[in-house]
Amino acid sequence: MPGFDYDTIDVDDYERYRPSYASEAVEWFKRRAGLSPHARVLDLAAGTGKLTRALFAAGMDVLAVEPSAMMRRKLAEAIPVERVMQGTAEAIPLPDESVDAVTVAQAFHQFRLNDAIQEIYRVLRKGGHLALFWNVYRPGDPTKVAVDEIIDQYIPPEIAVQAASGIWQEALRSSDRFESIEGRAFPHPHTLPAARLGALMATSSDIAGLPPGPRGRLLNEMEELARSVSSAELTIDAGTRVDLFRRMIGYQHTTG
């Protein structure tokens, strides 16, 4: 989210407990976008590299941009350090029309949308693709329902539902820079130690951005929920959704 300091998040917990992204979703994106072998892909707001590594594994030539110094250090443990760059979605440190695709995992709704859309358009080659990856959950999953009931007590709905609110979709539509191609979801259950549910929740920017008092109470409730689970592990019925867009060729980019 704009103005949030991601260096306040425990990057080790972020790496251990945050969901990864389905390899089937990455392969679908590669095929649907018509990416050639070793196509150059920019993973924007890459975090610790949850998606970045999957893009590398699929044979893409990946560059990663991430504003958080701590997350960049963790990311550089997994991919060549020269491919990791400091930057933001609103100021991408790459030349015009230099990448074939841009990916964003679980972060697009947190950008300053108009500025980010202009920058993504700038660095994409003509006809290039923007792929937005999301963690999604089956409606009615009991663990997710219980977690959401706790979160709703502390986080205003207009903040908690930003990813699903339609705001970012409307920003893309009204920009006239991108056309929607297709959206597709892939099953990808997420398993973690039940005792670490609070650690997972603490890596959410919505929760980490709360004042200390409410944040502490929320995480205490998460720990109580974890203790109520009979098994040592929690499995959440989750998935990966990809929303794919193509850069419009006719739009005239201007700088200044």
Per-residue pLDDT in tens (0 to 9) along the chain, 256 residues: 444 566 678 999 999 999 999 999 999 999 999 999 889 999 999 999 999 999 999 999 999 999 999 999 999 998 999 999 999 999 999 999 999 999 999 999 889 999 999 999 999 999 999 999 999 988 888 888 999 899 999 987 666 555 556 789 899 999 999 999 999 999 999 999 999 999 999 998 889 888 999 999 999 999 999 999 888 998 999 999 999 999 998 655 544 4
Q: SS3 for 2?
A: coil
**How far is residue 157's CA from residue 138's CA, in Å, rounded to a whole number?**
19
Within a domain: residue 219? no
Q: Is residue 10 part of a domain?
A: yes
Domain count, the chain: 1
Domain that holds residue 44: 6-138+161-189+238-247
pLDDT of residue 256: 44
Determine contact, residues 69/47, Cβ cutoff 8 Å: no
Looking at residue 185, which CATH number applies to its domain? 3.40.50.150
In a domain, 233, yes or no: no
Cα–Cα distance for residue pair 70/89, rounded to 1 Å? 18
CA distances from 75 to 43, 86, 158, 192, 237 (A): 12, 12, 31, 21, 27
Structural domain includes residue 153:
no
End-to-end CA distance of the chain: 25
Query: Has residue 128 been placed in a domain?
Result: yes
In a domain, residue 30? The reply is: yes
Give a yes or no: residue 176 inside a domain. yes
Predicted structure pTM score:
0.91
Is 82 among the domain residues? yes
